[in-house]
Copies of this chain bind each other. A is one copy, B any other.
Amino acid sequence: MAETLRIALAGLGTVGAGVLRLLEDNGELITARAGRRIEVVAVSARERSKDRGVDLSPYAWEDDMTAFAGRDDVDVVVELVGGSDGPALALARKALAGGKGLVTANKAMVAHHGLELARLAEDRGTPMRYEAAVAGGIPVIKGLGEGAAANRIERIYGILNGTCNYILSEMETTGRDFGEVLADAQALGYAEADPAFDIEGVDAAHKLAILASVAFGTELDFAAVDTSGITRIRSADIAQARALGYVIRLLGISDCDESGGERRLFQRVAPCLVPRSHPLASVDGPTNAVVAEGNHVGRLLFEGAGAGDGPTASAVVADLIDIARGNATAPFSLPVASLEASKPADPGNRRSRAYLRFMVADRPGVLAEITAAMRDAGVSIESMIQQGHPDDTDGDPVLVTMVTHEGPESSVTAALNVLDGSPSLVEEPLVMRLLG
């Protein structure tokens, strides 16, 4: 049996403790699969004395985790500290520069600095892996970068944030409104005390940018992800969607637009209407799921737990087993020099069907104003519902929803620009696309 693979672990939160527990629980199996022992030799975290339910006495302690990079008894650094910059990035850079392998679960850092880190890993001939950064325990980076490697991927999309999916499926099941369900999710530990990163779509955007790079062989471009969250969705939207045969899911969607003779990368995170019959429609609760469409394999779907200590630790240790086995796939499946620096696609050129929701003043002429703006912009309306007040309470705003026929997104934008500032609209309209 080959030499032990020696690990230094930075960050002992739930995932860090989960990795230690997993290595202990399944140690014998992991050694057999990896062909050698995987042994944690050193750990680091903010507080040494905190009770984490795991015994830290077998491991050397470093107050300064960047010291891992200088330790001769360490082969791979596992970074579970989090944050796109700061200590995590300093550690990752130092570790790779020092010739150590890097395994990380840090989606923000990979989304912002993945290309730089991959270049560093390539220069030093040392492995870098981040399966746990995308969709928790689901081996989707491996599935795309190895399992589907023979394919030109045509589109990738999925449910990438468990918190949002939990909130949306709870809203659907219970009929309650966003704020209430969010508060419950926080109490249950499904949402953070500061939930902005999740509910505003940023976390999903991190993951989408990483997936897009692996799927399309393009350079990471997180800044170009067109991102919106779920905070404006009301129970009325969910009810309307249901009546139309859809459910609402926060999706990350990416494809390549090759129409202009030049490949342009489209990346969007937004709530979408998903047909009830689509596999993603039945993905409920904190589960994640990713669909990849390859030019020979067709549609692949990967589904599983998107977060949690067990699933995330499973992905971290899978990366370690790969490194122990000597599996040497490039971090983004292609050498850095082969990744294409593609420009962002213009969403205006995309064709889709849209769901539009207006809160309008209950007075004559409002519908005429909205429909005229649509007509003038060339938007064709497939169906429209105005919800009357059962008790005809004059003056209260009423809900108008419509679904458009397929057309350029720019037309919908043009129509909404005309309506912008109209006293008929009580609040900004909500636009969601239908997954086609």
Contacts and interface: CB of A to CB of B under 8 A. Distances in A.
Nearest to A150: B317
A26 B150 contact: yes
Interface stretch (A164-172, A181-189, A307-315, A392-400): A307-315
Q: How large is the interface on A (under 10, 10 to 19, 20 to 34, 35 or more residues)?
A: 35 or more
Contacts of A34: 149
A310 B298 contact: yes
Contacts of A367: none
B296 A26 contact: yes
The interface centre, meaning the residue of A26, A150, A298, A327 with most chain B CB atoms within 10 A of its CB, is A150
B152 A147 contact: no
Interface stretch (A92-100, A137-145, A202-210, A226-234): A137-145
A297 interface: yes
A415 to B, nearest CB: 36
A335 interface: yes
Interface stretch (A318-326, A372-380, A382-390): A318-326
Contacts of A151: 26, 314
Contact of A296 (B25, B138, B297): B25
A137 B143 CA distance: 11
Interface of A: 18, 22, 25-26, 29-30, 32-35, 131, 137-139, 142-143, 145-152, 217, 277, 279, 282-283, 289, 294-305, 308, 310-311, 313-315, 317-318, 320-322, 325-330, 333-335, 338
27 contacts: A26-B296, A29-B217, A32-B217, A32-B334, A32-B338, A33-B149, A137-B297, A138-B300, A139-B148, A139-B300, A142-B142, A146-B322, A147-B318, A148-B318, A150-B318, A282-B282, A294-B314, A296-B311, A296-B313, A296-B314, A297-B315, A298-B308, A299-B305, A301-B303, A302-B303, A325-B329, A327-B327
